Structure 1
Amino acid sequence: MSQSQLIYVTDPLCLWCYGIAPTLTQFYATLPENMEKITINGGLFPAERARIADPAFRDYLKNASVKVTELTGQTFSEAFWNLLATPGFKYDTQPSARATVIVKSLSNEQTMREYMHQLQVATFVEGQDPTDEQVLATIATEFGIVKDDFLQAYADNASQQATQDEYAMASQMGVRGFPAILYVKDNQGYSLVSGFAPLDHLTKALAWAMDKAGEPPIQTAENSCDETGCKI
């Protein structure tokens, strides 16, 4: 019998992924120990798709952040909006995604998830720059990772390729919006959620997936982020 998998497709700088983080911590605590947990980056605004944080883009994110806070309690500080207002600042999500890939390679899946949430706090609450490799490396040291080891891996093209591979994997699974959670068993995939969902929804969706034999289509719901922006 093959091992079941829970696949979480995310992006560190996705507002709704930040919003769902505490709920996911509770949800993961309920999962069977023998269920493999896999987190991959889907690529929100990476590299060539990075968005210039002009007033229109900042207003769009602010509108989305109000809904995120309303539904999840996760807050965004003035320091974050000041960061975005830095002249010429690009909302490039690839450096932070690459950082999570590196942390996973130097540690493990659980540490990577914890690192991702701390990176979100550093960005959305503390206003630190998530495109700065020194910032990313410093956060990694909070999880026992040697800063020089992180920076060496960041400079290695292998970490860049590994990040691109995760983007490709998410695309092959048909995921277009984040957060998205899938259950996989015997090469059969089931979409649990695409967008924010409360704990009881996640629990019921998993129970449904473990009982069903068909794979429903993955559809991007409200309360999610994709390459066009964050839905509200």
Structure 2
Amino acid sequence: MERTRLTYAFDAYCGWCYGFAPALHDFAEANAERIELRVWSGGLFTGPRALPAAAYPHIPGANARIAELTGVAFGAGYQRMLAEGTTVMDSTDAATGLLALAGQPGVSALDAAAAIQRAWYLQGRSLSDTEVYRDIATELGLDPDAVTASYADPATRAAAEAQFLQLRRLGVDSYPTLLLHTAHGTHRLGSPVSSTQALTRALDQHLASVAA
């Protein structure tokens, strides 16, 4: 059976993506035999928007809402970082790190994204810090030297920036967004607070409508 292609538009510094992660992981696992999921970074905080956390005072309130609606927890290290407010959120660095990790053999982009989210939303570690990717590489059983070499490679950063552009061309302007690709076009699947079951039902409905 041909697997259905999905694109997950994600940003490591997007709190709603962190809240969506558990449901998406379970959905991907439950439907592994019939979907092909790629993870692309969207570039939420780039250029003039790559600023210290204190420049975004709405974040604590948004996090409370995310925790309430999705059940995710924000770690003590992250809360301390947020209170200090000096850590710069640079989505290009984070997207480059994701590609450096996901480009290694034996790891899925979704698992690499989850590890990056843990480093930020639990530990409060900067995703512009090369040591973070070395530690994640060790955690995932990857070669830290290979990961940091890829992170430093301008081609990896260029590939991350290309993903930002490709998602904009697909009409994605908010995160998380899950896109389903069919011969009839691209469709959004679910919402940032969709459960695993709701995502699977939406997939079933789309596939049924295409087959009809």
Q: Considering the TM-score relative to the shorter chain, is it more than 0.5?
A: yes
Cα shift at 1:88: 3.9
Gaps of 5+ in 1: 214-232
1:5 corresponding residue in structure 2: 5
Q: 2:100 aligns with which of 96, 99, 102?
A: 102
In the TM superposition, what is the alpha-carbon distance from 1:111 to its structure 2 partner?
2.5
- For 1:116, the equivalent position in structure 2 comes to 113
The equivalent of 1:78 in structure 2 is 76
CA contact (8 A) 2:2 2:34 kept: no
* Structure 2 partner of 1:199: 196
Task: Measure, in 2, the Cα distance between the counterparts of 1:30 and 1:89.
Answer: 36
Q: 2:126 aligns with which of 121, 129, 134?
A: 129
**Distance (Å, rounded) in 1 between the aligned partners of 2:96 and 2:184:** 27
Tell me the equivalent position of 1:27: 27
Residues 142-161 of structure 1 mapped to structure 2, 5 A cutoff = 142-161=139-158
Q: Determine which structure has the larger helix proportion and give its number.
A: 2
For residue 115 of structure 2, what is the amino acid of its counterpart?
Answer: Q
- The structure-2 alpha-carbon separation of the partners of 1:71 and 1:87, relative to structure 1 and needing over 3 Å to count, comes to closer
- Provide the TM-score with structure 1 as the length reference: 0.82
Corresponding residue for 2:64?
A: 66
Distance in structure 2 (CA, Å) of the matches to 1:43 and 1:194: 19
Q: CA deviation at 1:194?
A: 4.3
- TM-superposed CA distance for 1:3, in Å, is 4.8
Q: How many corresponding residue pairs? A: 210
Q: For residues 189-221 of structure 1, give each alpha carbon's deviation from its aligned partner in whole angstroms, at most 9, with x where no partner exists.
A: 1111343312232122212221335xxxxxxxx
Q: TM-score, normalization: structure 2?
A: 0.89
Q: Contact 2:125 / 2:132 at 8 angstroms: preserved in 1?
A: yes
1:186-225 mapped onto 2 (5 Å cutoff): 186=183, 188-212=185-209
Distance verdict in 2 for CA 1:202–1:122, change over 3 Å:
same
Q: Provide the identity percentage.
A: 28
- Residue aligning to 1:218: none
**Cα displacement (A) at 1:117:** 0.9
Whether contact under 8 Å (2:102, 2:112) holds in the other structure is no
- Structure 2 equivalent of residue 223 of structure 1: none
Unaligned runs of 5+ in 2: none
Distance in 2 of aligned mates of 1:209 and 1:26: 19
CA RMSD of aligned residues (A): 2.1
